[in-house]
């Protein structure tokens, strides 16, 4: 059974890690890597093909160009300007990356692309908004990786503290993938038990102020990795692969991805991360969490911050 064609635009650390994660998990039939540095895209593709003998996969990986987009199912955009190692603000790359993303989308759409865009380039919420604007595609077919990885990090830190499998934790980071992201604590559970009760019953292990501590660990985790190795790649690659699997296998999985709000949560015209059902149509349905009043106000502030950035560009 044919399992689809995915194009990755950007052969940097993130793009190549996504491709390799897909090969490892046998997610699709064909992977095409496009990069302005054609030699790099070729070498990364060939290196992966040399590994196929040792994997349970039939995936083909090759270097390509924008003409390959015409029959692609999904295009992953990871192309971006290099990020200085001492930086800790994704917004600093807004001006540099928006021109890169615009050029990518124009080239893709000139080749009659009709599939789904999955945006990874930071700041991902704003980049996803402009991919939607530049492409002219329906909003359900333009999504961003959003806070999927942030949510996995949150699960990791909670699970490590109370000694459970992170897959037993049901809690979401929502809002901006950035400084104003938040945890929807009122909806969080572990093994069906509400998070407030779990924390109250495990004070000896969790300590004081677990809500802020876990959010700080989550927010800092990515920058801690970045400051020491110069990039984050494996975590984002795995989370993007999870999203791709839900699309290609029509899984109806729920992930907190960056999607367009058009009245959901009583908010309009912004791409922001909320739990979303994902299938072969892209964003099938947005899950509207019942937030507390204070959580909702925090979420609105995050949305307003993102919307304020739209004014900086003529579109």
Point out the catalytic residue in the list 50, 155, 177, 290: 177
Backbone angles phi, psi at 62, to 5 degrees: -145, 160
- Residues 6 or more apart from 107 whose CB is under 8 A from it? 66, 69
CA 206, CA 162: separation in Å to the nearest integer? 7
User: Which conformational region is residue 211 in: left (phi greater than 0), alpha (psi within -120 to 50 degrees), or beta?
Assistant: alpha
Residue 123: is the preceding peptide bond cis (ω within 30°)?
Answer: yes
Query: Burial, 217: exposed, middle or buried (Cβ in 10 Å; 0-12, 13-18, 19+)?
Result: middle
**Is residue 177 among the annotated active site residues?**
yes
- Phi, psi of 282, rounded to the nearest 5 degrees: 95, -125
Phi and psi based region of residue 146 (left: phi greater than 0; alpha: psi -120 to 50; beta: remaining) = left
The DSSP symbol for 175 reads: B
Cα–Cα distance measured from residue 288 to residue 291, given in angstroms and rounded to the nearest whole number:
9
Catalytic residues: 177
């Amino acid at each position: 059974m044919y399992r689809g064609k995915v194009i990755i635009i950007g052969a940097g650390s993130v793009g190549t890690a996504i491709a390799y994660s897909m090969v490892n998990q046998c997610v699709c039939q064909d992977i095409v890597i496009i990069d302005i540095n054609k030699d790099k895209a070729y070498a990364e593709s060939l290196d992966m093909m040399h590994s196929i003998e040792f994997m349970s996969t039939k995936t083909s990986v090759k270097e390509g160009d924008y003409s390959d987009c015409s029959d692609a199912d999904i295009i992953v955009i990871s192309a971006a300007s290099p990020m200085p190692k001492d930086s800790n603000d994704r917004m600093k790359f807004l001006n540099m990356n928006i021109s890169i993303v615009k050029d990518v989308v124009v080239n893709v759409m000139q080749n009659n692309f009709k599939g789904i865009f999955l945006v990874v380039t930071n700041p991902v919420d704003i980049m996803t908004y402009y991919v939607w604007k530049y492409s002219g595609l329906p909003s359900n077919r333009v999504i961003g990786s959003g806070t999927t990885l942030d949510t996995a990090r949150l699960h990791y830190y909670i699970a490590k503290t109370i000694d459970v499998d992170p897959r037993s934790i049901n809690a979401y980071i929502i809002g901006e993938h950035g400084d104003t992201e938040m945890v929807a604590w009122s909806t969080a559970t572990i093994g069906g038990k509400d998070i407030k009760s779990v924390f109250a019953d495990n004070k000896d292990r969790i300590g004081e102020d677990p809500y802020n501590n876990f959010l700080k660990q989550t927010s800092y985790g990515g920058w801690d990795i970045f400051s020491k190795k110069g990039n984050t790649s494996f975590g984002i690659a795995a989370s993007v692969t999870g999203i791709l699997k839900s699309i290609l296998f029509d899984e109806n999985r729920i992930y907190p991805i960056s999607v367009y709000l058009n009245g959901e949560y009583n908010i309009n015209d912004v791409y922001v991360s909320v739990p979303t059902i994902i299938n072969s149509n892209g964003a099938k349905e947005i899950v509207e969490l019942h937030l507390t009043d204070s959580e909702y106000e925090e979420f609105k502030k995050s949305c307003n911050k993102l919307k304020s950035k739209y004014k900086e560009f003529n579109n």
